[in-house]
Chain A
Amino acid sequence: MRPFTSHTGRALPLDRADVDTDQIIPAEHLKRIERTGFGPFLFAEWRTDPSFVLNDARFEGASILLAGANFGSGSSREHAVWALEDAGFRAIIAPSFADIFRNNCGKIGLLAVELPAASVQRLMDLARGDPASEITVDLEALRVSWAAGEYPFTIDPYTRWRLIEGLDDIGLTLRREADIARYEATRPTRLPSVTG
């Protein structure tokens, strides 16, 4: 996983709540069996509207997504996270995230930052007012900052550590091999087996 310590970039204001993963990447684009190449299909349907913010040339190259509450609801498709990453996003700032989406972000090194709704609105105003303005998301300092101010944020310490170190979850779990084997030895034999 690519480590995340701090990132500075321009922001894209997507001022909608309950953005579900069917919008982030519609089901018809889930048929690739590779992990890459989903970026062109990010918000595929909404992008057919010329006035959709992702089509606004002033925000081209933005790498921080600002969004409304409950971002990433619905389907567990990790393709949504891959599409955002493939399209150049490194961090998402929203008042709240759906659980599975947030987990998926943490697995690939995309940072999901929760800020109060009013703070996210303020950042959206900043981006709309001057699309060239830069925002820094600093995971070590737990701070979102811009030229004229800053907001502290919190994240669970374990996820923060893993992101900063760029650690692969599977590698970490395999260090627990002895614990897993010990647990397996205690499982009741009546538990179902697919082959049994």
Chain B
Amino acid sequence: MKTMSATTRTLAEKVWERHVVHRAEGEPDLLYVDLHLVHEVTSPQAFDGLRMAGRGVRRPDLTVATMDHNVPTGPGVVDPVSVKQMEALARNCAEFGIELYPTGHLGQGIVHVIGPQMGLTQPGLFIACGDSHTSTHGAFGALAIGIGTSEVEHVLATQTLPQSKPGTTAVTVEGELPEGVSAKDVILGIIARIGTGGGVGKIIEYRGSAIRGLSMEGRMTVCNMSIEAGARAGMVAPDDTTFAWLERRPHAPKGAEWEDALDDWRTLPTDEGAAFDDDVVLDATKLRPHVSWGTNPGQTVTIDDVVPEATNDAAERALAYMALTPGMPIREIRPDTIFIGSCTNSRITDLREAANILRGRKVAAGLRAMVVPGSMMVKQQAEDEGLDLVFKNAGFEWRDAGCSMCLGMNPDKLEPGERSASTSNRNFEGRQGRGGRTHLVSPAVAAATAVAGHFATPQDLGGGAGNARSERARRANVVPRMNT
């Protein structure tokens, strides 16, 4: 990372510098990890590695585990192989003294939903997790990176990670978002612009009035998909929105420590005049709801567009896999499955946004639609607000928390040839089930599409989209109840 002078630094650089344990010429920096999030899929081999080397977990108090990738979210028989993986996590956490939120616990949920929910994700922290969507936590002004299993073992054993310093990219989104355009459309628009490799080797800082105007949930949606642009991490500078969201969460600082924390967090934003390696600017007022047409998250168009002509082999392959013809209006594509969930879009505001559109409406005939809340607390809060009834009355299945159909490790999968409108993050071939075809959209477009039976915006539905009660709840930014 470069700076204009020794006195101006970016947010990323400030957070990086406060975690350097050891630095030497020609070596990566050794960074201290403030919070290590663990789940059942990328950890069993790491714990085995510890046992084989006779090593322990250095800081169980900075480590938290949950079950999310494999967990069933509905009734039915659980795959015995998945059970084995969940049991292994429970055994490992018991053996090494790590707090675990297993299935059946109110604290359970997608790892990137529960960290913020508990108030463990805070500005200025360095956070690691064996999952590429760890970038989500950057919404709080934390530096948060996805790691592989060898690195998970490294963090467990040493609470540190050797890391080469990435470059920095400023992505500035200025202006007010048009009605019906959400955080998901912002990040899909950014990826469409910079490409799936556009962020490789970089930490992206999202800036500008459109980003400042997003809720914490919206900022999490944006940072979550940084990895889809190839970035090492994504960050948003902490501000009053961040502080208001964090205050009074179970693990947030209290009393005098809260005041100390605020003083510190206010020093984190990028200094005036600090330079980034790359600058990208987007006009928020020109954004429209996005729909992916291909097999990577860079292959998107707006809902007003048509399926594009293939300009290279990859696009041709994607069109064939997706069974789409160039020139076809996006609004004429008819999914058979609607999935609202994933670490990208499964938080309470996402559910409110979708429920707002579905209230008093029905899912189109023949469509399968499901909502999978990001955590059991989100589920409970939604039920307290009556959102479950809205979804169920509309014809949606109302599930327990988990990663679910985002990656199809549990029974929630697409069948070969099935097509989804999904609020998740990856439209890779087979991602939601062998032969499945995924279109990435926002919760609003997913809900409107469920009603219309083809890709649609809430405005397309006509009538009274929008609801005063839900809007009030959104503004109140209700903090979920905790029992930790």
Partners in one complex: yes
Which of A's residues lie within 8 Å of B, judged by CB? 16-18, 20, 22-23, 26-28, 30-31, 33-35, 45, 69-70, 73-79, 81, 96, 98-100, 103-104, 107-108, 156-158, 169-170, 172-174, 176, 179-180, 183-184, 187-196
B429 adjacent to A23 (CB under 8 Å): yes
Q: Which of A45, A70, A98, A192 contacts B34 (CB 8 A)?
A: A192
Which residues of chain B (130-153) have a CB below 8 Å from chain A?
130-132, 146-151, 153
B200 touches A192 (CB 8 A): no
Contact A70 B230 (CB under 8 A): yes
**Which of B118-126, B215-223, B351-359, B459-467 binds A?**
B118-126
Whether A31 contacts B34 by the Cβ 8 Å rule is no
Interface size on B, residues (CB 8 A): 81
Q: Which chain A residues lie closer than 8 Å to B428 at the CB level?
A: 20, 22-23, 74
Do residues B84 and A33 form an inter-chain contact, with CB atoms below 8 A?
A: yes
> In the complex, A73 Cα to B146 Cα: how many Å?
12
A179 touches B30 (CB 8 A): yes
A73 in contact with B429 (CB, 8 Å): no
A78 touches B149 (CB 8 A): yes
Across-interface contacts of A104 in B (CB, < 8 A): 148-151
CB distance from B389 to the nearest CB of A (A): 32
Bound Cα distance from A33 to B87, whole angstroms? 10
Query: Does B430 reach chain A (CB closer than 8 Å)?
Result: yes
> Does B157 lie within 8 Å of A96, measured CB to CB?
no
| Chain A residue nearest in CB terms to B433 | A28
Q: How far is the CA of A15 from the CA of B162 in the complex (A)?
A: 33
Q: Is B178 an interface residue (CB 8 A)?
A: no
A31 touches B82 (CB 8 A): yes
In the complex, how many angstroms separate the beta carbon of A105 from the nearest chain B beta carbon? 9
The answer on a CB contact under 8 Å between B158 and A194 is no
Complex: A45 Cα to B408 Cα, angstroms = 14
Tell me whether A176 and B314 are in contact in the complex, defined as CB-CB below 8 angstroms, given that A69-B197, A103-B147, A192-B122 are known contacts: no
- Chain A hits for B125, CB < 8 A: 191-192
Contact across chains for B22 and A99 when beta carbons are under 8 A apart: no
Contacting pair B26 A158 (CB below 8 A): yes
Q: Is the CB of B61 within 8 A of A75?
A: no
Question: Nearest residue in A to B409 (C-beta to C-beta)?
Answer: A27
Is B208 an interface residue when CB atoms closer than 8 A count as contact?
no
> Is residue B260 within 8 Å, beta carbon to beta carbon, of the partner chain?
yes
Residues from chain A with a CB closer than 8 A to the CB of B426 are 20, 22, 74-75
CA distance A73 to B232 in the complex (A): 11
What 6 A-B pairs have minimum CB-CB distances, sorted nearest first? A107-B150, A78-B148, A33-B44, A104-B148, A190-B257, A78-B149
Residue of A nearest to B484 (CB): A194
Q: State the majority secondary structure of interface residues on A.
A: loop
**A-binding segment of B62-70, B278-286, B341-349, B468-476:** B62-70
Q: How far is the CB of A38 from chain B (nearest CB, A)?
A: 11
Identity of the chain B residue whose Cβ is nearest the Cβ of A33 in the assembled complex: B44
Measured in the bound complex, the distance between the Cα atoms of B317 and A23 in whole Å is 14
* Assembly CA distance A79 to B228 (angstroms): 19
B99 touches A195 (CB 8 A): yes
A172 nearest in chain B by CB position: B162
Residues of A within 8 A of B132 (CB): 74-76, 100
Q: Which residues of B contact A81 (CB under 8 A)?
A: 148
- Interchain CB contact under 8 A, A27 and B407: yes
Docked-complex contact B28 and A158, CB < 8 angstroms: yes
In the complex, what residues of B have CB within 8 A of residue A192's CB? 34-35, 119-120, 122, 125, 251-253
In the complex, what's the smallest C-beta–C-beta distance from B413 to chain A, in angstroms?
A: 9
Indicate if the CB atoms of A31 and B434 lie closer than 8 Å: no
Q: Answer yes or no: B41 CB below 8 A from chain A CBs.
A: yes
Q: Are A76 and B42 in contact (CB under 8 A)?
A: yes
> Is B32 part of the contact surface with A, judged by Cβ < 8 Å?
yes
Q: Are A78 and B200 in contact (CB under 8 A)?
A: no
A177 to B22, CA, bound (A): 10
Could you tell me if A176 and B22 are in contact, using CB atoms closer than 8 angstroms? yes
Residues of B within 8 A of A98 (CB): 197, 200, 230
Question: Quick check: A22 and B431 within 8 Å, CB to CB?
Answer: yes
* 30 sample A-B contacts, Cβ–Cβ < 8 Å, listed by A number: A18-B196, A18-B296, A22-B407, A27-B408, A30-B69, A31-B84, A33-B85, A34-B48, A35-B149, A70-B197, A70-B230, A73-B196, A74-B227, A78-B45, A96-B200, A99-B166, A100-B132, A107-B148, A158-B27, A169-B162, A176-B22, A179-B21, A183-B32, A188-B264, A190-B257, A190-B261, A191-B122, A193-B61, A194-B62, A194-B120
Other-chain residue from A18, A31, A77, A99 in contact with B81 (beta carbon distance below 8 A): A31
Please determine whether A76 and B147 come into contact, CB atoms closer than 8 angstroms.
yes
B164 at the interface (CB under 8 A from A): yes
Shortest CB distance A71–B (Å): 10
Interface centre among B26, B158, B166 (most CB of A within 10 A): B158
Q: Is the CB of A77 within 8 A of B162?
A: no
Note all chain A residues with C-beta closer than 8 A to B197: 18, 69-70, 73, 96, 98
Q: Are B148 and A100 in contact (CB under 8 A)?
A: yes
- Is B88 among interface residues, defined by CB-CB distance under 8 A? yes
Asked whether, in the complex, the Cβ of B99 is within 8 Å of the Cβ of A194, the reply is yes
B422 at the interface (CB under 8 A from A): no
Q: Find B408's partner among A28, A169, A187 (CB 8 Å cutoff).
A: A28
A107 contacts B21, CB within 8 Å? Answer: no
CB neighbours of A16 from chain B (8 A): 313-314, 317
Report the Cα distance A26→B55, complex, angstroms: 31
